[in-house]
Amino acid sequence: MDNLDFNKHTSKTYNQELEDIRNLLLNMGGMVEKQVQKAMQSLLESNKKMAKKVIKKDLGINAMEVKIDEECTQIIAKRQPAASDLRLIIAVIKSITDLERIGDEAEKIAKNAIYLIDKSFKSDYFSDLENLAKIVANNLTQALNALARLDPDLALKIALEDDRVDDTFEQFNKEMISVMALNPQDLKNLVRLSWSGKALEKIGDHTKNICEYVIYLIKGKDIRHLDLETIKEEYF
């Protein structure tokens, strides 16, 4: 396995370019993380101004994706990277698509928040959504840490955590359907709440994808669609 040392090139500019895209990626990750937190906060605290800010900020995240994509393409064209450098760039190209889509899901949560604030709708089920959001946000932070530290063990741990996200979402969803059946007058609002849960579950999926790219980057093994428990035994 080749060494993952990005300072190994004789060209200082090349080292700097690789370091730059990694930093851009981590910046984008930080922005997206904040969007998810703020979107949930706007919902829980009925803060319409904050929700609107989240929606506006999504444009900046989209622009980041395009910028990083272009930088990566240029490095491939100019530097003809091989082995671990190439894997880094491919992992970045893949990860930013997931980060951009996490941003889209945060925007959806913010839009649902505005809908519910306008209807002055509050529900005990907000706290169930908050619980789901806490698990999802924590996993996202850890996935970004794994990416920053190039830590495949942490990445695998977080990828395995996605089952808990799915279970928690299933539970939330079942509850929501029962509540809807009992309160058809609140249906439109409850649907919005349930969509926000779905958005969180999607964020969990994208987080898992990012973890898989980290493992691919370090281990040089494409583990997508494989059973994670098997991978744990075979590659770790």
Residues lying near its own copies in the complex (CB under 8 A)? 59, 62-63, 65-66, 69-70, 73, 76-77, 80-83, 86-87, 90, 93-94, 97, 177, 180-182, 184-185, 187-188, 191, 222, 224-225
* Min dist. Cβ of residue 115 to its own copies (A): 12
For the chain, how many helices (H) and strands (E)? 7, 0
| Cα–Cα dist 41/47, whole Å | 8
Nearer to its own copies, 13 or 187 (CB): 187
Nearer to its own copies, 62 or 138 (CB): 62
* Min dist. Cβ of residue 230 to its own copies (A): 15
Nearer to its own copies, 83 or 234 (CB): 83
Say how many Å lie between the first and final Cα of the chain, rounded: 14
| Cα–Cα dist 104/59, whole Å | 10
- Tell me if 40 sits within 8 A of 133, measured CB to CB: yes
* Min dist. Cβ of residue 184 to its own copies (A): 5
Which residues touch 189 (CB under 8 Å, ≥6 apart)? 115, 116, 119, 121, 123
Nearer to its own copies, 10 or 49 (CB): 10
* Min dist. Cβ of residue 143 to its own copies (A): 17
* Min dist. Cβ of residue 187 to its own copies (A): 5
Nearer to its own copies, 86 or 160 (CB): 86
Tokens standing for residue 185: 């007058």
Tokens standing for residue 91: 């992992």
Spatial CA neighbour of 93 closest among 209, 223, 226, 220: 209
* Min dist. Cβ of residue 63 to its own copies (A): 7
Nearer to its own copies, 96 or 132 (CB): 96
Buried b (16+ CB within 10 A) or exposed e, 160-182: ebbeebeebbeebeeebeebbee
